[in-house]
Chain A
Amino acid sequence: MAVFRAMEKRSLSKTTFMLWVATLCAMLGIGFYGMYQTLWNGLQVTNMSDRVPWGLWITHDLSAIGLGAGAFTLSAIIYLFRIKRFEPIARMAVFVGFLGYTSAMLALAMDIGRPDRFWHPLVYWNVHSVLWEITWCVILYSTVLVIEVLPIILESQYFDRWPKLQSFSHKLHKLTPVMAVLGMALSLLHQSSLGATYGVLSGRAIWFKPSLPVMFILSAVAGGVSMTLLLTMIVSKLRNVELIDKWLRRDMSRLAAFALLAYLYLKVWDWAATNYYSHAPGTADAMMRLQATTPYNESFWWLEVVLCGLVPAVILLNRPFRRRHGILMTGLALIVFGVVVNRWNVTLSGLVVPPSWSPGVLGNAVAATYVPSWIEIAVSIGVLGYATLAFTLGAKYLPLFPKKAEDGGD
């Protein structure tokens, strides 16, 4: 708190801001180097293998899309269910969603072996593939997000000099309710389908269950709303301005917390039904090997359920905790972190203990391992740098919040 008070006077000092931007540019530089290495030498620069073909970048992609879910959730609440008190957060949510989806597409472009063929799913259809459906939904929804974000950009002071752009932006803005409906439909589809990507694979016992799509969308709602609120609170602190009032803060915290509770309920029942109360041979075998040879079982309980599930649920639903900004922000950050840990755990746990298909006893006895290579980490740092830099500039120069709050009113 003292630090923030020291910054006083609306915003950060110029030097601090420039240092921050320089750091982000350095991250971008690291990312560009990683991307160059990847595109030039191919995916051999990663530590992925035929046994673990998906790794850090898929986790980055799934997390970014999940944490961008605040856009569709809050848009639906505001424009479809007309709960007007959420309106001040609408633009921020859409902006965060836009950054999440563009980050995901960047990470995916690096991850596929032939980025030059990224357009193939649009031309060559396989309607039986959830990934085909996801590709379509993500592309369409990103278009929706662009249409929603454009008016925000065009409304900034810089564009005042072109009145034609202004009227175009007003026309686009009028489309917002339609976009909210489209956005909700598309998001309900692909946010769940991302879980189905794993849930439909009948050969992989750890993944094969109908609960995965539902758990993915519930965690995305909790994570997306938390991400939006967390970033809003950080910007508020840095600019020393109340951007949203405490009632909206309370409502958003509760929304995230209830989504989180629903998610935890499903998660615990999912575990109970597939592990505790039953003994399906494939699942039991895979879970036993997972527990014996990898850290993913422990990190499921300690990180996903306790630290990033129960703890933030208590913080967000308990008034004294919620009122302390530091504690509330910690809770929100834990939920965000939990989404990332969950996407990593889901991806890796299913891959490192593949089904044993050999009729003998030696084959498949050893679990596969995966630690990302430094080039994979570099690319991820670059994508993160892009999102953070774009967010920083957006928070500084774009009218993301209603005028009253921007002017420093409560």
Chain B
Amino acid sequence: MAKAKDKKQPLISRRDALKILGATGATAVVSQVLTSGPLSAEAIKGIARHTEASGEHEWHMGIDLDKCIGCQYCMKACQAVNDVPDDDMRWNVGFDERTEGGTDFFMTRPCLHCQEAPCVKVCPVGATWVREDGIVAMDYDRCIGCRYCEVACPYDVRRFNWKQPEPSEIKKNPYQPAWGVAEVERRPRGVVEKCTFCVHRIDRGLEFGLTPGVDPQATPACVVICPVNARVFGDIHDEESPISQFLEAHETFRLREDFGTEPKVHYVRPAKEEA
């Protein structure tokens, strides 16, 4: 009897299947409807403030393109300290540029450490994230090397390690020791890497009671080495910090703000642009 029944009754009928699919869809819609009411005043405040990091500190960088003399020291110090031997893998890039008005200047760009970082949203394994202090961090041991973050980043910040693993003994870093010594381990082949705002200096510096942006041991290498102080760094929650004073003193802009990525690197335009 039971057998005969089995034969006729399929495990799941079309009606059941469609019901399940329909119910799933309806649940999704209803949950959206129920949470889409008018927002409280608190929540609206939250919208205006959503670009801030949640932690005690929030690290920002300022780059004065008017002051910059194009010496490329920042790029070299970065390669030495973060142990990036190959020039085509520079985390901190720089190149000759010209304004629309025809003024030549030198454009440099570290990772912008976007608060709404597109690279963070797309990573399938959560190997990159925005820390409480706003720094976009990477876990090289978790990265699978799919390069979706490179595709997502609109600023060409991320670098994939295409080559053989090159332990320092084998491949010499031409920038060491003249421009600094390696402070972090070189990354293995097959993972994505990028500028970290020299996070190792910041974390260690805070442990020793130093102030990143003021004390050189706790400040990114590119900022420390700049001979004309074109780069400044610090905590924007601290009004006395170099970056807060920089933002106060200059009219600044960020790269492609229309993307809504909320970068933490602020630029001052090269001078005489309108002349």
Contact B156 A50, beta carbon cutoff 8 Å: yes
Q: Check B204 for interface membership: any CB of A closer than 8 A.
A: no
Contact B144 A113, beta carbon cutoff 8 Å: yes
Chain B interface: which of A151-159, A321-329, A359-367? A359-367
Contact B154 A113, beta carbon cutoff 8 Å: no
A113-B145, A177-B10, A359-B269 are known contacts. Are A204 and B154 too (CB-CB below 8 A)?
A: yes
A120-B142, A361-B99 are known contacts. Are A178 and B153 too (CB-CB below 8 A)?
A: no
| Contacting residues, chain B, for A24 (C-beta < 8 A) | none
Chain A interface: which of B40-48, B69-77, B120-128, B218-226? B120-128
Q: Check A227 for interface membership: any CB of B closer than 8 A.
A: no
Q: Check B146 for interface membership: any CB of A closer than 8 A.
A: yes
Q: Check B163 for interface membership: any CB of A closer than 8 A.
A: yes
Chain A interface: which of B14-22, B170-178, B207-215, B233-241? B14-22
Contact B269 A357, beta carbon cutoff 8 Å: no
Instruction: List the count of A-B residue pairs having beta carbons below 8 Å apart.
Output: 176
User: How far apart are A278's CB and chain B's nearest CB, in angstroms?
Assistant: 16
What 0/1 pattern do residues 235 to 259 of B give for CB contact below 8 A with A?
0000000000000000001011011
Q: Check B186 for interface membership: any CB of A closer than 8 A.
A: no
Contact A43 B162, beta carbon cutoff 8 Å: yes
Contact A363 B107, beta carbon cutoff 8 Å: yes
Contact B155 A113, beta carbon cutoff 8 Å: no
Chain B interface category by residue count: 35 or more
Q: Check A117 for interface membership: any CB of B closer than 8 A.
A: yes
- Residues 102-127 of A at the B interface (beta carbon under 8 Å): 111-114, 117-118, 120-121, 124-126
| Contacting residues, chain A, for B180 (C-beta < 8 A) | none
What 0/1 pattern do residues 175 to 217 of B give for CB contact below 8 A with A?
0000000000000011110000000000000000000000000
Contact B189 A42, beta carbon cutoff 8 Å: yes
User: How far apart are B15's CB and chain A's nearest CB, in angstroms?
Assistant: 10
User: How far apart are B95's CB and chain A's nearest CB, in angstroms?
Assistant: 7
Contact A131 B148, beta carbon cutoff 8 Å: yes
Bound Cα distance from A363 to B89, whole angstroms: 18
Q: Check B167 for interface membership: any CB of A closer than 8 A.
A: no
Give the residue of B152, B156, B164 whose beta carbon is less than 8 angstroms from that of A42: B164
Bound Cα distance from A80 to B164, whole angstroms: 51
Which interface residue of A48, A51, A54, A363 has the most chain B CB atoms within 10 A? A363
Chain B interface: which of A6-14, A64-72, A195-203, A401-409? A195-203
| Contacting residues, chain B, for A337 (C-beta < 8 A) | none
Q: Check B87 for interface membership: any CB of A closer than 8 A.
A: no
Q: Give the nearest-CB partner of B18 in chain A.
A: A80
Give the residue of A82, A178, A184, A282 whose beta carbon is less than 8 angstroms from that of B12: A178
| Contacting residues, chain A, for B126 (C-beta < 8 A) | 124-126, 129
What 0/1 pattern do residues 56 to 71 of B give for CB contact below 8 A with A?
0000000001000000
A202-B118, A203-B118 are known contacts. Are A361 and B98 too (CB-CB below 8 A)?
A: yes
Q: Check B260 for interface membership: any CB of A closer than 8 A.
A: yes
- Residues 88-125 of B at the A interface (beta carbon under 8 Å): 89, 95-100, 105, 107, 109, 118, 121-125
Q: Check B150 for interface membership: any CB of A closer than 8 A.
A: yes
Q: Check B266 for interface membership: any CB of A closer than 8 A.
A: no
Give the residue of B127, B151, B253, B255 whose beta carbon is less than 8 angstroms from that of A201: B151
Contact A112 B144, beta carbon cutoff 8 Å: yes
Which interface residue of B144, B161, B256 has the most chain A CB atoms within 10 A? B144
Contact A121 B144, beta carbon cutoff 8 Å: yes
Bound Cα distance from A175 to B10, whole angstroms: 9
Q: Give the nearest-CB partner of A281 in chain B.
A: B258
Bound Cα distance from A53 to B107, whole angstroms: 24
| Contacting residues, chain A, for B191 (C-beta < 8 A) | 113-114
Contact A360 B97, beta carbon cutoff 8 Å: yes
User: How far apart are B242's CB and chain A's nearest CB, in angstroms?
Assistant: 22
Bound Cα distance from A182 to B163, whole angstroms: 41
| Contacting residues, chain B, for A200 (C-beta < 8 A) | 121-122
Bound Cα distance from A178 to B20, whole angstroms: 12
Contact B118 A201, beta carbon cutoff 8 Å: yes
Contact B190 A42, beta carbon cutoff 8 Å: yes
| Contacting residues, chain A, for B269 (C-beta < 8 A) | 359
| Contacting residues, chain A, for B29 (C-beta < 8 A) | none
Q: Check A15 for interface membership: any CB of B closer than 8 A.
A: no
What 0/1 pattern do residues 254 to 273 of B give for CB contact below 8 A with A?
01101111000001010000
Contact B11 A175, beta carbon cutoff 8 Å: yes
| Contacting residues, chain A, for B155 (C-beta < 8 A) | 203, 357
Q: Check A370 for interface membership: any CB of B closer than 8 A.
A: no
Contact B267 A282, beta carbon cutoff 8 Å: no
Q: Check B231 for interface membership: any CB of A closer than 8 A.
A: no
Contact A203 B153, beta carbon cutoff 8 Å: yes
| Contacting residues, chain A, for B20 (C-beta < 8 A) | 181
A44-B162, A121-B124 are known contacts. Are A203 and B145 too (CB-CB below 8 A)?
A: no
A82-B14, A111-B146, A363-B95 are known contacts. Are A126 and B125 too (CB-CB below 8 A)?
A: yes
Bound Cα distance from A181 to B12, whole angstroms: 9
Give the residue of A54, A134, A360 whose beta carbon is less than 8 angstroms from that of B105: A360
What 0/1 pattern do residues 190 to 212 of A give for CB contact below 8 A with B?
00000001001111100000000
Contact B105 A43, beta carbon cutoff 8 Å: no
Give the residue of B121, B256, B258 whose beta carbon is less than 8 angstroms from that of A128: B121
Bound Cα distance from A123 to B11, whole angstroms: 32
Sample (19) of A-B pairs whose CB atoms are under 8 Å apart: A41-B164, A42-B163, A49-B162, A53-B160, A80-B18, A113-B160, A113-B192, A118-B144, A126-B124, A131-B124, A135-B124, A174-B11, A197-B148, A201-B154, A202-B118, A351-B151, A358-B109, A362-B95, A362-B98
Where the two chains meet, the residues of A that have a C-beta atom closer than 8 Å to any C-beta of B are 41-44, 46, 48-51, 53-54, 80-82, 111-114, 117-118, 120-121, 124-126, 128-132, 134-135, 174-175, 177-178, 181, 184-185, 197, 200-204, 281-282, 350-351, 354-355, 357-363
16 other contacts beyond A43-B145, A203-B259, A354-B156, with CB at 8 A cut-off? A43-B160, A114-B143, A114-B145, A114-B191, A117-B142, A117-B144, A120-B144, A131-B124, A203-B153, A203-B256, A203-B261, A355-B154, A358-B255, A359-B255, A361-B100, A362-B95
Where the two chains meet, the residues of B that have a C-beta atom closer than 8 Å to any C-beta of A are 10-12, 14, 17-18, 20-21, 65, 89, 95-100, 105, 107, 109, 118, 121-127, 142-148, 150-156, 158-164, 189-192, 253, 255-256, 258-261, 267, 269
